[in-house]
């Protein structure tokens, strides 16, 4: 097994884990895995093939064959490619989130993405965010953070994030979507959303992005220095 250190940041949608993971990775100079993007890509790839209702095996085959590439544009903004098409914007839509959480309940799809997720673990280290980074994909992570925030706060954040991108959705509809997705993610039998036993819980409801980032970095440095 690879010994490169991993920081796992798990939590429900809208808890801020994507933003925090990106900042922590940048501060440490480590790689970043946005595992939710992989589930979103499977959902999107299935939709493009008209196969959202396909069998578990067919969806797992789509997951195994994902032609995905991550890079950055000239301004340093991350871009995600599915084959030849830039799907960065489409991937962030609520529709894609919903498709992702539907394919994510399927054990064979989860299995099909396992190797790809682990392949992000390279030198000098990896910050991975998702739902099961600390429990299933990287159980030996050096630091496991379970990031939460109240449901109302999470809906408000998502709303602002989407508005900033010019995507218009109503707050009540978004809250319902988030609740549905939380329920599906928490109640599924395989790799449900829950903190690892050795995770540190962090409630970000009343904290700024800088404060949450700093807390995670302090924890990381504590552990790195103790080695
Ligand atoms: O984090 P994000 O909102 O992009 O994730 C989209 C969906 O992908 C989640 O609602 C969840 O169903 C699924 N997911 C998962 N396991 C992960 C990451 C995401 O099941 N590690």
pLDDT tens-digit map of 77-107: 889 999 999 999 999 888 999 999 899 999 9
The reply to whether 222 falls in a domain is yes
User: Which residue's CA is the closest to the ligand 1 atom numbered 19?
Assistant: 36
pLDDT tens sequence across 38-56: 999 999 999 999 999 999 9
Mutation test residue for ligand 1: of 130, 144, 181, 188, the one with most atoms within 8 Å of CB: 130
In a domain, 54, yes or no: yes
- Assigned domain for 139 exists: yes
Whether residue 130 has its Cβ less than 6 Å from ligand 1: yes
Please report whether residue 195 resides in a domain: yes
Buried b (16+ CB within 10 A) or exposed e, 45-67: bbeeeeeeeeeeeebbebbeebe
**Chain segment 146-176, per-residue pLDDT in tens:** 999 988 899 998 888 888 888 888 899 888 8
Q: Tell me the three state secondary structure of residue 53.
A: coil
The enclosing domain of 50 has a CATH number of 3.40.50.300
pTM (2 d.p.):
0.91
Tell me the pLDDT tens digit for each residue of 180-224. 888 888 888 887 888 999 999 999 999 999 999 999 999 999 998
Distance 218 CA to ligand 1 centre (A): 26
SS3 200: strand
Q: What number does the ligand 1 atom closest to the CA of 185 have?
A: 12
Q: Is the CB of 185 under 6 A from ligand 1?
A: yes
pLDDT of residue 142: 97
Classify residue 203: in a domain, yes or no: yes
In a domain, 110, yes or no: yes
Domain assignment present for residue 1? The answer is no
Residue 15 lies in a domain: yes
Nearest CA to ligand 1 atom 5: 36
Number of domains in the chain: 1
Q: What phi and psi, each to the nearest 5 degrees, are found at residue 130?
A: 175, -140
The confidence band for 2, taking pLDDT boundaries of 50, 70 and 90, is: low
Asked whether 136 lines ligand 1 (CB < 6 A), one says no
Average pLDDT over residues 114-133: 96
Buried/exposed code over 193-214 (b: 16+ C-beta within 10 A; e: otherwise): bebbeebeebebeeeeeeebbe
Sign of CA dihedral 41, 69, 107, 197: negative
Q: Which domain holds residue 208?
A: 6-226
């Amino acid at each position: 097994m690879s010994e490169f250190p991993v920081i796992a940041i798990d939590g429900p949608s809208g808890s801020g884990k994507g933003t925090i993971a990106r900042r922590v990775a940048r501060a440490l100079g480590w790689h970043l895995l946005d595992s939710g993007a992989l589930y979103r890509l499977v959902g999107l790839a299935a939709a493009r093939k008209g196969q959202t209702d396909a069998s578990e095996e067919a969806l797992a085959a789509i997951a195994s064959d994902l032609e995905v590439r991550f890079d950055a544009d000239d301004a340093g903004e991350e871009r995600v490619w599915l084959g030849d098409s830039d799907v960065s914007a489409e991937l962030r839509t609520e529709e894609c989130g919903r498709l992702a959480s539907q394919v994510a309940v399927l054990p064979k799809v989860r299995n099909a993405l396992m190797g790809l997720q682990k392949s992000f673990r390279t030198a000098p280290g990896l910050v991975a965010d998702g739902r099961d980074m600390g429990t299933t994909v990287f159980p030996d992570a050096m630091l496991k953070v379970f990031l939460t925030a109240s449901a109302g706060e999470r809906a408000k954040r998502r709303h602002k994030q989407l508005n900033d991108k010019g995507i218009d959705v109503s707050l009540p509809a978004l809250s319902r979507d988030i609740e549905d997705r939380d329920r599906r993610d928490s109640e599924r039998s395989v790799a449900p959303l829950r903190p690892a036993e050795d995770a540190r819980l962090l409630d970000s409801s009343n904290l700024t992005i800088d404060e949450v980032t700093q807390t995670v970095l302090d924890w990381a440095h504590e552990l790195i220095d103790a080695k």
